[in-house]
Chains A and B, each alone.
Chain A
Amino acid sequence: MRYHPLTDADRAAMLAKIGVSDIDALFADIPEAARLTEPLDLPTSRSELEVERAMSALAAKNTSAASVPFFVGAGAYRHHVPASVDHLIQRSEFLTAYTPYQPEIAQGTLQPLFEFQTQVARLTGMEVANASMYDGSTGCAEAVLMAQRLTRRSRAVLSGSLHPHYRDVVETVSRLAGDEVVALPADLAGAEDVAAHIDETVACVVVQTPGVFGNLTDLRPIAEAAHAAGALLIAVFTEVMSLGLIEPPGAMGADIVVGEGQSIGNGLNYGGPYVGLFATRQKYLRQMPGRLCGETVDADGRRGYTLTLSTREQHIRRDKATSNICTNSGLCCLAFTIHMSLLGDLGLTRLAKLNHANAVLLADGLASVPGVEVINETFFNEFAIRVPGNAADVIEALAQKGVLGGVPFSRLDPQAGLDDVILVASTEINTDTDRAAYVSALTEVLA
């Protein structure tokens, strides 16, 4: 087997040194009744070529985003990732390192984490950020738990702008942790008055902007209402690219900002791995979940970085920890950091403008299709349309015509009664030809 360096002669010599007669003597603690005597009922070992052949056959059955006009978003977005990003994250020293528990020989992981935290804090307009969560949805649930710890209140109000998957994750964790969640109905029109649901029993209000339907929300009045009641505002985004163009939640009074960072540096990967971004105010630092990288000096007085404030974490605090999170999204944050370093303000702003313009062009194009209504007055690179009939059927018919036209809202939330709504995203990857193909396919499907 190509991955195993020991030879049979090595094994024999090693067993002799250990002083046992055969390998099974090393497994003698396993109760006899539970020892496997037969091989597992699985295929035997395969060459690299054979594995590649089998895997490629499976992959070929899927329609990849690059192969069709592609407008699917709703929490994961297809963007162009520079070739240098993927090259760099595949360097052995990044790819095959462990969590940087020995900082003397892990500055290569730690310094980019410090850069990542700084980038996330600046992008969200907050003071501190952690070294990533699994993804936006789990980060959102952790933010709610953090707000409950900070306010010592248990009730969370979830806006109807929140992605239904995020809502579901928060509800799952809260229900099993014994906390109360008030989820407002899906807010297609962007007209919800979330402030009316805040009172002195509320730990936090969770608002997504751009929302799941694409609408942009001015968070300032909500932050004011929350703070007046002693509650915290958790701002959520699923499209981090939007922060290149719109006012960051930190500048609008948010106390905790969480979101999905996949759009920068990371591919679609059928849902994961992604990278959760988590930022907050300095004063809430010690209630933050997840790993933190901090600056310090070494024995020679040289600047260096190390994981810090680990007294919040499970490996020190055990059942008193702020979270059970351990492994996070290290390599995905590195991809984020490298891509963001290549973009800078200049590239990010230009890219965000291109995304917005492409979405505006698409919205205008789709609005011209008979029977189609574009719902949004405001949006970044994703918006909602209403179609005559069942949205899931329309999306399926579009797929048959070779266009992946978005996400039927009913797939995210079948209970919402919005069976005729499609979420449509357009990024820099879409061309005029893609948009024309969408408009003409949708026209045919609805005819």
Chain B
Amino acid sequence: MSMNTQGRPSAPADGTASAAPETFTGNKALMIEEPLLFEIGHVDNCGVDVPDAPDIGSRLGGLERSEPAGLPGLSEPEAMRHYVRLSQKNYAIDLGIYPLGSCTMKHNPRLNEKMARLPGFADVHPLQPQSSVPGALELIDTLAGWLKEMTGMAAVAMSPKAGAHGELCGMMAIKAALEARGEARSTVLVPASAHGTNPATAALLGYGVKEIPARDDGTVDPQAVADLLDDTVAGIMLTNPNTCGLFERDVIAIADAVHKAGAYFYCDGANFNAIVGKARPGDLGIDAMHINLHKTFSTPHGGGGPGAGPVVFSQALAPFAPLPEVVGEGDDLRLAEHRADLPQSFGRLTAFHGQMGMFVRALAYMMAHGSDGLRRASEDAVLNANYVRAGLSDLMSLPFGDRVCMHEVLFDDAFLKDTGVTTLDFAKAMIDEGYHPMTMYFPLVVHGAMLIEPTESESKASLDLFIATLRDLAIDARAGKTDRFSGAPYHSPRRRLDETRAARQPRLVWTPAEPVKEAAE
């Protein structure tokens, strides 16, 4: 062993033990086990200094709390440690590729965070006088203008709070338009490959859902749509590019058939990020489409929201858009908030006017990219997905053949047949390699689906290592080295969670452990 003059070892000793012994704390160096807030906090502790309230009597009418809520507090340093330690148990796009197909985990520019925190956006109230917020109205109007130009659509509803809320908004406009024609249609057509939100949205509005089977090549057959269309069909909900990562090449024929039957074409715009600057939904015959600002336009997913789901409308549906809406032009913008302003509107979808904080971030992203950068983002996203496809097509299985894909590439589990390794195992083994897995078991139209969306944020070097890793995993799986998969992940903050137990014995809130009974003498 080499040492310095104070006798301090300066290099590891030969024959250093390789197996890690258990630690006293359960911690593993930087990975620190963290109890629940309720186990470390105390109701007498507090991390906020609040001045004494003047004693001037109560106007609570005798409805004072009879007992405290039982919420523990933490001092500021304790709170910082608690949440920083917890944060270190998360994967994040800032750590590495996050290839969740259909979820679009792209880089979140920090400029956008900074802009959203400008007091003129972050610290304005939705109900302060309109004369005191001209910049907010201008921002919404500007963003709406960009969205309309990118999609070639006539109008945009800004208030939907997320993609699924946007779907609801779009389908409500369709229902209102049909009612205005005096028609009560009963059915909505949804392809088998659709996101679950599509049939759930249609059902919420009382529609029966008819499933359109997928064609052998993963796209929708216009003849299959035509066969289902009649005067009971309110509309179709189609994702394009679809969840198999393919552009619906017969989309115009589908739109024509839908319109001929007097129905409307709702497009799930979750995958709009593949075609910005390359094609416009308005040129494809679409009547309504939501845009996930948190996917295509990089507003952060934040561990599950907040999202924002503005909906663009064709001329036919524009009058039925929800309240409120920014109307007017130039310096004369105002909020139309009441039915008297927009008599055909289907009504109000949420309390205020949408996810302003997300609007600021999305517009900052758009302004930074410009028309050239937005097109380049789509091209790079599609290029990266095809590069992954080309790098893996000989080892993993492509359910619809080795053909060009859009921004995401779909594999199935045929390449794992008879290996004893499932899609789930394969995904969990990726975790040990330092990767977040791809989307698994979705779409439902292929067996053991693995949907990979690298996005334009990945460098070639990042993709090369990712591809090499997946190749190595695929080779091991096929070579019968199942240990690497069946127990995976081994190295993550937690190993596989018992989801059956979580569902069978639901524990959704913390309760104190039963007090230990004193042992009898």
Contact = CB atoms under 8 A, between A and B. Distances in A.
B64 A245 contact: yes
Interface string A111-126: 1101101110111010
Given A52-B114, A340-B71, A25 B492 contact: no
Contact of B161 (A171, A272, A399): A272
B108 to A, nearest CB: 5
A445 interface: no
Given A30-B279, A97-B302, A134-B350, 7 more contacts: A96-B92, A122-B71, A129-B508, A270-B357, A308-B502, A321-B203, A404-B125
Residue picked from A23, A98, A108, A331, most chain B C-beta under 10 Å: A98
A323 B200 CA distance: 7
Contact of A332 (B38, B91, B142, B306): B306
A171 B347 contact: yes
Given A117-B509, A135-B350, A247 B65 contact: yes
A228 interface: no
Given A29-B246, A105-B431, A105-B492, A88 B437 contact: no
B436 A331 contact: no
Contact of B93 (A96, A329, A378): A96
14 contacts: A3-B107, A26-B383, A29-B249, A42-B371, A42-B374, A59-B115, A88-B79, A98-B100, A104-B431, A107-B86, A107-B493, A176-B206, A324-B204, A325-B165
B44 interface: yes
A83 to B, nearest CB: 9
A219 to B, nearest CB: 9
Given A42-B370, A62-B135, A172-B346, A318 B199 contact: yes
Given A163-B351, A165-B348, A63 B124 contact: yes
Contacts of A395: 129
A437 to B, nearest CB: 16
Contacts of A114: 36, 508-510
Query: Across chains A and B, which 8 residue pairs bring their CB atoms closest together, nearest first?
Result: A344-B73, A59-B120, A271-B352, A331-B302, A61-B135, A330-B304, A273-B306, A271-B126
Contacts of A380: 60
A22 to B, nearest CB: 10
Residue picked from B51, B105, B283, B386, most chain A C-beta under 10 Å: B386
Contacts of B72: 341, 344-345
Interface string B68-86: 1111111010011011101
A105 B209 CA distance: 36
Residue picked from A104, A125, A127, A293, most chain B C-beta under 10 Å: A104
Nearest to A10: B460
B506 A309 contact: yes
A239 to B, nearest CB: 13
B161 A64 contact: no
A36 B103 CA distance: 25
Given A97-B303, A330-B305, A176 B205 contact: yes
B502 A296 contact: yes
B348 A95 contact: no
Interface in B341-372: 346-358, 360, 363-364, 366-372
Interface string A271-301: 1110000000000010000011111111110
A78 B373 CA distance: 37
B497 A172 contact: no
Interface in B497-512: 497-499, 501-503, 506-510
Contacts of B10: none
B498 A414 contact: no
Interface stretch (B13-21, B221-229, B414-422, B451-459): B451-459
B338 interface: yes
A6 B61 contact: no
Interface string A429-447: 0000000000000000000
A296 B34 CA distance: 15
A20 interface: yes
Interface stretch (B168-176, B257-265, B477-485): B168-176
B458 A294 contact: no
B42 interface: yes
Given A99-B304, A102-B427, A63 B128 contact: yes
A267 B65 CA distance: 26
B367 A40 contact: no
Contact of A75 (B115, B201, B340, B351): B351
B63 interface: yes
B60 A378 contact: yes
B499 A296 contact: yes
Residue picked from B38, B277, B350, most chain A C-beta under 10 Å: B350
A105 B382 contact: no
Nearest to A105: B91
Contacts of A84: 47, 76, 79-80
A102 B497 CA distance: 9
A415 B283 CA distance: 41
A86 B113 CA distance: 11
Contacts of A136: 351
B380 A344 contact: no
Interface residues of A, number: 210
A91 B506 contact: no
A178 B207 CA distance: 10
B334 interface: no
A21 interface: no
A172 to B, nearest CB: 4
A254 interface: no
B405 to A, nearest CB: 8
A417 interface: no
Contact of B127 (A62, A72, A128, A306): A72
Contact of A104 (B53, B368, B492): B492
B330 interface: no
Given A118-B509, A294-B503, A344-B71, A36 B280 contact: yes
A299 B127 contact: no
Nearest to A215: B61
B30 interface: no
Contact of A327 (B127, B306, B508): B306
A43 B306 contact: no
B118 interface: yes
B98 interface: yes
A226 to B, nearest CB: 19
Interface string A9-35: 011011101111001011111110111
Contacts of A330: 301-306
Contacts of A245: 60, 64-65
Given A55-B118, A177-B205, A396-B131, A246 B353 contact: no
B111 interface: yes
Contact of B86 (A40, A104, A111, A137): A111
Contacts of B91: 93, 97, 102, 105-106
B59 A18 contact: no
B284 interface: yes
A197 interface: no
A191 interface: no
A40 B105 CA distance: 24
Given A5-B458, A138-B165, A356-B53, A27 B278 contact: yes
Nearest to B62: A218
B306 A331 contact: yes
A361 interface: yes
Contacts of A34: 252, 279-280, 283-284
A260 B161 CA distance: 14
A94 B127 contact: no
Interface string B381-422: 011101101110000000000001010000000000000000
B496 A246 contact: no
Interface string B17-42: 00000000000000000101110011
Contacts of A63: 124, 128, 132-133
A297 B45 contact: no
A247 to B, nearest CB: 5
Given A107-B86, A379-B59, A82 B354 contact: no
